[in-house]
Chain A
Amino acid sequence: MSEATALLKRGGGEAKVLAGGMSLIPAMKLRLSSPATIVDINRIEGLDQIKESKGRLLIGSMVRHHALETSELVRTKARLLSETAECIGDPQIRNRGTIGGAMVHCDPSGDWGGSILAMRGSLRMVGPSKERSVPVDDFLVDTFASAVAPDEILVEVSVPLPPPRSGGAYQKLERRAGDFPTAAVAVQLSLDANDVCTLIGIGLTALGPKNLRAKRAEEALSGRKLTEDTILDASAAASGDSEPTDDPLRGSAKYKKEMAAVLTRRALNMAVRRARGRGDK
């Protein structure tokens, strides 16, 4: 690790970290990216673990999407994350691509950003002299711009483990299997015994310049009882929170705003069903 961060420091911004390479290598072939130095972190040990510790799920940055898709721990404790992993790219991409690489890439259409926002995750980076953690809201800076400094390496993505009566769901609209989303919504919520929403996170994907938190939609539900009406209100608010642009391949901004509401409603309904199911046990 220290060798890797030293190489990055020496590269002075011209060096690039290679994780799964599912975005970097295609970008290099198209000459969109021509890094002078590539630092391959695939052989650094210990970055590919998924662990539970002190109420959090700790995911090493080099954990591949396929591992998150199939991990029993993730499936039982953070269904939103396994559901997100399932719809990334195609099987070969999931075998190679990593959660850390995807987060650092900060593609506004990337599936992970919205789900990590919904789960209120945080990200830990290691630099040549120190390490630090930032909440996901500060990590996602802008289109293709994360908070990782040129000489830092993202080592871990972590999320708080949801309390009982929690549920999460990822709803992705895509033109065909394996495509980037036209729009996607991630929801993570917790209910008390009276179905009052005690925790709520809603993340939007492909609905703005970066993965966005649907703040007004969250406010519409926080501390309120989840009913058909409050869910519809929150869905409309999520549409208002979204900032999509017209795109010749995947539809107009107007269409995507409508889809933001539809997907939010579906994700909320699914998350509520899951939260109740867990409470019944």
Chain B
Amino acid sequence: MKGSAHDVTVRINGKPVRRKIESRLLLVDYIREVAGLTGAHVGCETSNCGACTVLLDGESVKSCTMFAVQADGRDVLTIEGLSKEGELHPMQQAFWDNHGLQCGFCTPGMIIQAVWLLKENPHPTETEVRYGICGNLCRCTGYQNIVKSILAAADVMKQ
């Protein structure tokens, strides 16, 4: 193994995942290759597209721009951890209801970022939603319905 090996445990969607890894392994690769959760996507690998967005201790981060060792002992939430007992999270439901996706590649990152956005600002304006997802690219350019979905979820979630 090149470089130093680290024994890390990352709690992903509430479940501890332990493995000895290289220090250079990226968090997104830990999530996908070690934990086997392929919801967080590798889109650009240059910190631009946001398809790999996950929550780290509740804060949205691009998991391709962090080393997995940095998440040792911390909590990660991916798209797979959003639904509870087969029930979609209100944000997932809003994307479903409002056709908030086209090809779906950006969707996991979009939804996680949108969940963080509403945690920070439960009643965003349309402009605030657009700025809130400026770190997430949709190459189908389907932003209209994504924004609509997030605003709809905000309406549902405040009830």
Interface of A with B (CB < 8 Å)? 18, 21-22, 25-26, 29-30, 38, 40, 42, 66, 89-93, 95-96, 176-178
Give Cα A82–Cα B41 distance, bound, in whole angstroms: 32
Top-10 shortest CB links A-B? A90-B135, A177-B134, A95-B59, A178-B134, A92-B135, A90-B134, A92-B62, A25-B65, A96-B61, A92-B60
A91 contacts B132, CB within 8 Å? yes
How distant is B63 from chain A, measured CB to nearest CB, in Å?
10
* B61, B62, B65, B69 pick with most chain A CB within 10 angstroms: B65
* Nearest CB on A from B53, distance (A): 6
Whole-angstrom distance between the alpha carbons of A25 and B65 in the complex? 6
Query: Within 8 Å of chain A (Cβ to Cβ): is B92?
Result: no
Inter-chain contact B65/A26, CB cutoff 8 Å = yes
- The binding surface of chain A is classed by DSSP as mixed
A228 to chain B, nearest CB (A): 31
Q: How far is the CB of B114 from chain A (nearest CB, A)?
A: 11
Residue numbers in A under 8 Å from B93 (CB-CB): none
Residues of A within 8 A of B130 (CB): 177
Taking a contact as CB atoms under 8 Å apart, the answer to whether A91 and B116 are in contact is yes
7 contacts between A and B (CB under 8 A): A21-B65, A21-B66, A21-B67, A25-B66, A40-B70, A91-B134, A95-B60
CB distance from A22 to the nearest CB of B (A): 7
Q: How far does the alpha carbon of A165 sit from the alpha carbon of B135 in the complex, in Å?
A: 36
- Type the 1/0 row for B48-72, where 1 means its CB is closer than 8 Å to any CB of A: 0010010000011110011101100
Count of B residues near A, CB < 8 Å? 24
CB distance from A69 to the nearest CB of B (A): 10
Docked Cα-Cα span, A18 to B136, in Å, equals 24
Given contacts A22-B47, A91-B113, A93-B47, 17 further A-B contacts (CB under 8 A): A25-B47, A25-B65, A25-B67, A26-B46, A38-B23, A40-B69, A40-B70, A42-B70, A90-B50, A90-B135, A92-B53, A92-B60, A92-B62, A95-B59, A95-B60, A96-B62, A178-B135
Interface SS, B side: mixed
Contacts of B62 in A (CB 8 A): 92-93, 96
CB distance from B47 to the nearest CB of A (A): 5
Q: Which of B60-119 contact A (CB under 8 A)?
A: 60-62, 65-67, 69-70, 113, 116-117
Q: How far is the CA of A102 from the CA of B36 in the complex (A)?
A: 34
Report if B22 contacts A (CB, 8 A). Answer: no
Is B46 in contact with A29, judged by CB distance below 8 angstroms?
yes
Residues of chain A lying within 8 A (CB to CB) of residue B50: 90, 92
- Give the Cβ gap from A112 to chain B, nearest Cβ, in Å: 18
Determine whether the beta carbon of B65 is less than 8 Å from that of A22. yes
Roughly how many angstroms separate A228 CA and B135 CA in the complex, as a whole number? 38
Give the nearest-CB partner of A97 in chain B. Answer: B65
The complex places the Cα of A66 from the Cα of B58 at a distance, in Å, of: 13
Contact B66 A29, beta carbon cutoff 8 Å: no
**Min C-beta distance of A198 to chain B, whole Å:** 35
B23–A89 contact, CB under 8 A? no
User: How far is A93 from B66 in the complex, measured between Cα atoms in Å?
Assistant: 11
